[in-house]
Structure 1
């Protein structure tokens, strides 16, 4: 399984905004004052505008500079090993995606039966509404008070990677391979695995491997089978375990949070209040 590389997003200043790195890649909700950026990295990067910006100057793979206005939803893609540069004269809000080349190649192989990925960036200022929807979901996840779900971010990065392959690469006209849904046996294996491993970090790739499906198709098949995406299923398992431990009363609330897979007592409290409309202390007091 690919390792998580924290430096994947280090080319963007920490002050730009909250971020998260998974085995698939990484994402940043970035708000930056007027300035400029040179990007020369071994990973694929894409930026989706979360607010309009005017008079942006940019270049990609050459010294030729383009000036353009970027409306809401405008997407810019910089393939790995291709130098990029941008300059902006007003505050710019974007969702920045980072995808490891190996990760995108694996996705192309599993979904499209292709061994090579050749990205074809769109013209500057191109609006992509589907990429915008994924970017807005990531913004919500990264900027919430609770700690973001790595499984959810990993799922969104997988969906975005597939979107890029379909729309901004040489494989765009390749038909997708038809596959069956999530069988009863596979669903049972996945359930057992999640109930045994809910407290640790879980990736889309490992769940897909158990079901013998590709990552992108697994997300869709799982959601159809269980009526909710994988990250939400895991969250509800954690909440159910926490409720049981609270009722039993043998552990402190902080210990319950740890054993149920939450990062802290405050994380458990905020999540339980959001989804159960009660705090851990209230659940314990009523039993």
Structure 2
């Protein structure tokens, strides 16, 4: 829940429903194959995230070195950390002209890891790694991103290339490159868009699409916020606009 809600009821597999008013940050978890029923008395605002069984197994394998981890049914509990991630997910979903799919994927991955660490049959304390990527891993991931930055990348995919868990990978990547993975990919896409804008007469809508952006406005907004200029400013005055 990212806003207060009144009269929320949640019961697992035939439990007696119990209503309660809940605060922002109230979290509920339904493991696979567990039936539940939820209702509420009025308008509410929440973020619903679904992980496939395969995704949970893969995350658990990285985090605990074992795939036989089961999520615990959690009716309603206050979780401030989950609330912060949910708010960031909401911001991305509400601003499609500024959104970044790799950033959104990383937030969903972070939330999945948080749930596994705190609401599963196997729990472990968070270990804060201090090392960056090895030179070999840094070179490998740099080459991969530069070759595939126009593709739809995921945190799990990039972490696998480096042989790391998604959570460890993100921190190690930041320590090595000074940017989170989603930002590094965004900069490569903006570089490519600038090259097309300054060396071709390609319509701006085509430039946006070929550079990995959902629309011309998506490209314009991200270029303005990231580089303080617009696609139109990069075009020479004599270059025809299409």
Q: Which segment drifts farther, 156-165 or 266-275?
A: 266-275
**In the TM superposition, what is the alpha-carbon distance from 1:170 to its structure 2 partner?**
1.2
Q: 1:122 aligns with which of 71, 74, 81?
A: 74
Quote how far apart the aligned CAs of 1:180 are.
5.5
How far the C-alpha of 1:123 sits from its partner, in A, is 4.4
Q: Is 2:97–2:218's contact at 8 Å kept on the other side of the alignment?
A: yes
2:30 touches 2:74 (CA, 8 Å); kept in 1? no
**Count of matched residue pairs:** 238
Listed one character per residue, the Cα deviations across residues 230-275 of structure 1 (whole Å, up to 9, x for unaligned) are: 1111111111111122111342322322222222222212221222
2:211 to 239, 254, 260: 260
1:111 counterpart residue number? 63
CA distance 1:215–1:175, shift in 2 (3 Å): closer
User: Match for 1:72 among 24, 37, 51?
Assistant: 24
What is the CA–CA distance in structure 2 between the aligned matches of 1:272 and 1:178, rounded to whole Å?
33
Answering whether residue 2 of structure 2 is matched by residue 50 of structure 1, we say yes
Once the two structures are superposed, residues 160-187 of structure 1 have per-residue CA deviations (whole angstroms, 9 ceiling, x without a partner) of 1110111101111478697963112211
The secondary structure found in structure 2 opposite 1:85 is strand
Distance 1:148 1:275 in 2: 12
**Equivalence for 2:84:** 133
Report whether the alignment pairs 1:152 with 2:103: yes
- Equivalents in 1 of 2:126, 2:94: separation in Å? 36
Superposition TM-score, scaled by structure 1 size: 0.77
User: Is the contact made by 1:194 and 1:234 (CA closer than 8 Å) also made in structure 2?
Assistant: yes
Per-residue deviation, 1:110? 1.4
Matched, 1:97 2:28: no
Task: From the two aligned structures, give the one with the greater strand fraction.
Answer: 1
Unaligned regions of 5+ residues in structure 2, if any? none
Deviates more, 1:76-85 or 1:250-259: 250-259
More helix by share: 2
Cα distance in 2 for partners of 1:273, 1:286 equals: 19
Q: TM-score, normalised by structure 2?
A: 0.90
From 169, 186, 201, the counterpart of 2:152: 201
User: Which one of the candidate residues 211, 221, 229 is aligned to 2:162?
Assistant: 211
Distance 1:286 1:128, change over 3 A: farther
1:172 and 2:123 are equivalent in the alignment: yes
- With over 3 angstroms needed to count, the CA separation of the structure-2 counterparts of 1:256 and 1:241, relative to structure 1, is same
Compared with structure 1, are the counterparts of its residues 212 and 254 closer, same or farther at alpha carbon in structure 2 (3 Å cutoff)? same
Give, in angstroms, the shift of residue 145 of structure 1.
3.8
* In structure 1, distance between residues paired with 2:120 and 2:89: 23
Rounded to whole Å, the distance in 2 between the matches of 1:178 and 1:238 is 29
User: Is 1:239 the counterpart of 2:190 in the alignment?
Assistant: yes
Q: 1:251 to 1:111 in 2, by over 3 A?
A: same
| Cα pair 2:98 2:222 within 8 Å, conserved | no
What secondary structure does 2:46 align onto? strand
Q: Which residue of 1 aligns with 2:234?
A: 283
Aligned-partner Cα distance in 2 for 1:50–1:216: 24
Q: Are 2:177 and 1:226 aligned?
A: yes
Aligned-partner Cα distance in 1 for 2:130–2:224: 39
